Amino acid sequence: MKDERGIFYYPFPQNKEVRMYVQEKDDMIYFRLWNAEDPKLWADHGWIPYDAILQAQAMYERKSAFNPRQAYDLDVARAVLKEASMLNGTLLQ
């Protein structure tokens, strides 16, 4: 899916108020979280490379019920980026 902020997916499908935006730059996938209930989140946090998410993942697994693998899903990110790329290719022809 895509809106004015970019390409996104719902990391928690039951909650449409939270979106995970993704972009690819320099062969790296970047993530950025948006939450309708917390508008400052978008302004306060920039794009995060997947490598940084992997490094931080161990901390979350020990301290919290938050599952970064669900929110920052590399396979889903690749799929939505591929879909957006295909749609753009179709629209340009």
pLDDT tens for residues 21-46?
Answer: 999 999 999 999 999 999 899 999 99
Look up residue 9 and give its amino acid: Y
Question: Is residue 91 over pLDDT 60?
Answer: no
Average pLDDT on 50-60 reads: 81
Question: What is the extent of the structural domain holding 72?
Answer: 2-92
Q: Which one, of 89, 75, 86, 58, lies nearest residue 22 by Cα?
A: 75
Assess whether pLDDT exceeds 60 at residue 90. Answer: no
Q: The whole model's pTM is what?
A: 0.84
Strands 2-3 and 48-49: unpaired
Number of structural domains in the chain: 1
Identify the residue whose tokens are 């340009």.
Answer: 92
Answer with the residue of higher pLDDT: 92 or 24: 24
Q: Does the pLDDT of residue 72 top 80, yes or no? A: yes
